[in-house]
């Protein structure tokens, strides 16, 4: 049985392709040149400061699970400030890339880094 994601990967148009693990590794190395906050990718884990993104093969994105505020600071508002600073720094770094790569952030600070 042919899976839909396999069909998408086989199409000729770049906009139809699901980014691979190799794509994200190359992208992460470019980001690492910008800032030491980007750690060297380790298998399918991509660390930025204290955030650990994981490669989602089906969507071709890097995903960060929802964050518990108590893991970041004892006071929720302080935790939000820390996480908001990470979001701003990450967005600023992504803007510098040649590819159109965007950060999506939910209210629970779950995140996806996606190639548009």
- Rounded to 5°, angle at Cα 70 from 65 and 74: 155
pLDDT above 50: residue 85: yes
pLDDT above 80: residue 15: no
Q: What is the pLDDT of residues 68-79, one digit of tens each?
A: 999 999 999 999
Instruction: Judge contact between 46 and 54, C-beta under 8 A.
Output: yes
> 37 Cβ partners below 8 Å, 6+ apart?
48, 49, 89
Boundaries of every domain in the chain: 19-115
Q: Which of 103, 82, 74, 79 is nearest to 91 (CA)?
A: 103
Q: What is the pTM of this model?
A: 0.83
Q: What is the pLDDT of residues 18-30, one digit of tens each?
A: 999 999 999 999 9
47-66 average pLDDT score: 96
> 113 Cβ partners below 8 Å, 6+ apart?
24, 53, 61, 62, 90, 94, 101, 102, 103, 104
pLDDT above 60: residue 91: yes
What per-residue confidence (pLDDT) applies to 16? 59
- Rounded to 5°, angle at Cα 20 from 14 and 22: 115
> Which tops the pLDDT comparison, 9 or 106?
106
pLDDT confidence of 10, banded at 50, 70, 90?
very low
pLDDT above 70: residue 102: yes
């Amino acid at each position: 049985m042919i899976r839909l994601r396999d069909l998408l990967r086989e199409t000729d148009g770049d906009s139809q392709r699901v980014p691979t693990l190799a794509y994200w590794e190359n992208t992460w190395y470019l980001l690492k040149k910008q800032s030491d906050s980007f750690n060297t990718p380790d298998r399918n884990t991509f660390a930025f400061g204290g955030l650990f993104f994981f490669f989602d093969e089906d969507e071709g994105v890097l995903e960060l699970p929802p964050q518990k505020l108590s893991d970041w600071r004892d006071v929720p508002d302080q935790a939000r400030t820390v996480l908001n600073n990470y979001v701003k720094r990450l967005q600023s770094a992504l803007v510098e890339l040649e590819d159109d790569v965007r950060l999506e952030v939910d209210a629970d600070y779950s995140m996806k880094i996606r190639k548009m």
